[in-house]
Structure 1
C-alpha cells in the first residue's frame, strides 16, 4: 500500500519579544502565524473501518494540533523564561494576560522545533510527522522536516 502525506493548516495570533536581539523584534509585537502540519502514513484498507481510505482523520489531527499548539499559543504572549522578560511576564499575568514562558528564544525556528516535539508525542504510532511550516509573515517562515532531524 502506498504511503501518503496529508497536510492540515492552522492559524493563530501570538505576541512575543526577542530579548537581546539587535533589531525591532526586541520589542513586544505579534504575528498572525500560519502552521502547516504534514503527516505521512498508509491509508486504512480495512473495509469495515469507519475511516476507510484515510491516513488519519483530519478532525483527529486538528484535535491534536489545537490542544498542543493553537489553544495554548493563540492570543498569548511568549517570552523566554531565562531572560529579564520574566518580570514583564509576571506583570502581564497579574493583569489577566495569557503569557507563556518557554525554554527558548521564541523565534519561528525555535517554535517550530517545539511544535514538532509536541505533535510527534501525540500522533498514533502508525502515523509519522513529516514536516511543519510555520509562517510568521507573508514572506517569512521556518520549516522542520523529520528526514533532517
Structure 2
C-alpha cells in the first residue's frame, strides 16, 4: 500500500517576547501564526472501519493539535520562564490572563520543536509526524521535518 501525507492547517494568535534579544522582538508583541501539520501513513483498508480509505480523519488530527497547541496558545502570552518580565507575567496571571511560561526562548524554531514532541506523542503507532511549518508572518516561517531529526 502507498504511504500518503495528510496536512491540516491551524491558526492561532499568540504574543511573545524574546528574552535577551538585541532587536524589537525583545518587547512583548504578537503574531497571527499558521501551523501546517503533516502526518504520513497508509490509508485504512478495512472496509468495516468507518474511516476506511483515510490515513487519519482530519477531525482526529484537529483534536490532537487543538488540545496540544492551539487551545493552549491561542490569545496567550508565551514567555521564557527566565524572562525579566516574570513579575508582569505573574500580575497578568493574577488578572486571569493566559500566560504560558516555557523553558526555552519562544522563537518559531523552538516552538516547532516543542509542537513536534507534543503531537508525535499523541499519534497512533501506525502514523508518523512528517513535518511542521510554523508561519510567524506571511514571509517568515520555521519548518521541522522528521527526516532531519531521525
TM-score under structure 2 length normalisation:
0.98
Residue of structure 1 equivalent to 2:5: 5
- Distance in 2 (CA, whole Å) between partners of 1:126 and 1:55 is 9
Residue of structure 2 equivalent to 1:21: 21
Residue of structure 1 equivalent to 2:120: 120
- For 1:24-35, what aligned pairs fall within 5 Å after superposition? 24-35=24-35
Deviation sequence 1:36-69 (CA, Å, 0-9, x none) = 0000000000111100100000000000000000
- For 1:1-149, what aligned pairs fall within 5 Å after superposition? 1-149=1-149
Paired residue secondary structure (1:11): strand
Moved more, 80-89 or 99-108: 80-89
Offset of residue 84 of structure 1:
1.8
Moved more, 30-39 or 44-53: 44-53
Which runs of 5 or more structure 1 residues have no equivalent in the other structure? Answer: none
Which runs of 5 or more structure 2 residues have no equivalent in the other structure? Answer: none
Offset of residue 16 of structure 1:
0.3
Moved more, 81-90 or 31-40: 81-90
Offset of residue 83 of structure 1:
2.4
Aligned pairs, number: 149
Deviation sequence 1:64-112 (CA, Å, 0-9, x none) = 0000000000000000002222222101111221000001000000000
Cα RMSD of the aligned pairs, angstroms, is 0.6
Paired residue secondary structure (1:25): helix
